[in-house]
Amino acid sequence: MVVVTALVAALAWISYRLVHTGQFEGRRWEQFQYTAVQEQLFDGLLNTLKAAGIAAVLATAYGVVFASARISDHAWLRVPASAVVELFRATPMLILMFFFYYGSLQYDLGLSPMWAVVLGLTLYNGSVLAEIFRAGIAAVPRGQREAANAIGLRKTQVVQLILLPQAVRAMLPAIVSQLVVLLKDTALGFIITYNELLYVGRQMGSRLEFGFPYLPTYMVIAVVYIGLCAMFTVLAHRLESQGRRQHKSSVPMSAEAPVPARAHAPAGRR
């Protein structure tokens, strides 16, 4: 109760300060009624989704490959893969983006700001996903592995056909949470001039004719990000529920199997 009261009081104080400083004045919100401004916001949103979509696909593939390598029986494959994953997990994502962006400028590699963002997101989030996949595979009951080996499957087949599908189903909430983090981290691209949603918002907030509406603009952008993350969360819950239903339907109902009648033993001599 104390925490709720403190939270309500903090929100009331913040709202009072916003009203007191004129953040809800019509002038500061006027620009959002213009079609050109709406198109600018939409273009920024498309660029955000474009970078996030490409990075999500690459990071997932990266995670699957390096998770498989980390559980390999061969040390020459397992040790380098573990070193790469731990290296990029420990490196701040912004440094990775700087590395690709400024490295491309210095050595004339021709990488656009979008690809600097995508590669930074891929390496960091792919390394995190690799650890999620590895933990999910390790959590699959050992009997599944032994049964697959018993029918003659190779190690790669066991991972791809038996362990990885079960691990993905079990780790789906963690995977989606990491992809949501990836989506939000595209906002770091504004530092290297990638024309994503936050970069567009900074340009819109610096307009003198509307009274430098930084806070109103960032409020709108925050609502967009919250809506996108909520959509991903709802989609994850639906996929998880669907996977759970399919898993239950694939398991035979032993309780419904007919119970065999007990055979009557022949009467013996007393």
> Which two three-digit tokens encode residue 102?
């400024």
Nearest to 201 by CA among 50, 68, 40: 40
Answer whether 117's CB lies under 8 Å from 93's CB: no
Residues 6+ apart with CB under 8 A from 127: 62, 63, 66, 84, 85, 86, 87, 88, 89
Answer whether residue 261 is part of any domain: no
Residue 89, Cα to own-chain centre: how many angstroms?
15
Q: Report the b/e string of 24-39 with b at 16+ CB within 10 A.
A: eeeebbebeeeeebee
Assign residue 59 the CATH number of its domain. Answer: 1.10.3720.10
Write out pLDDT tens, residues 76-94.
999 999 999 999 999 999 9
Nearest to 113 by CA among 45, 186, 222, 182: 186
Answer whether residue 166 is part of any domain: yes
**Which 3-state string (H, E, C) describes 123-144?**
HHHHHHHHHHHHHHHHHCCHHH
Answer whether 66's CB lies under 8 Å from 130's CB: yes
Q: Measured between alpha carbons, how far is 222 from 71 in angstroms, rounded to an integer?
A: 40
Structural domains counted in the chain: 1
Answer whether residue 15 is part of any domain: no
Answer whether residue 24 is part of any domain: no
Answer whether residue 9 is part of any domain: no
- The pLDDT value recorded for residue 259 is 44
Q: Measured between alpha carbons, how far is 205 from 195 in angstroms, rounded to an integer?
A: 15
Mean pLDDT (10-residue bins), the chain, 270 residues? 86 82 79 90 95 96 90 87 94 94 92 95 95 85 78 78 79 87 93 93 86 88 91 80 66 45 47
Answer whether 97's CB lies under 8 Å from 192's CB: yes
- The pLDDT value recorded for residue 258 is 46
Answer whether residue 263 is part of any domain: no
- The pLDDT value recorded for residue 242 is 74
For 128, the domain range is 31-246
Answer whether residue 270 is part of any domain: no
Q: Is the pTM of this model over 0.85?
A: no
- The pLDDT value recorded for residue 248 is 64
Answer whether residue 42 is part of any domain: yes
Q: Measured between alpha carbons, how far is 44 from 180 in angstroms, rounded to an integer?
A: 18
Write out pLDDT tens, residues 202-235.
889 888 888 888 888 999 999 999 999 888 888 8
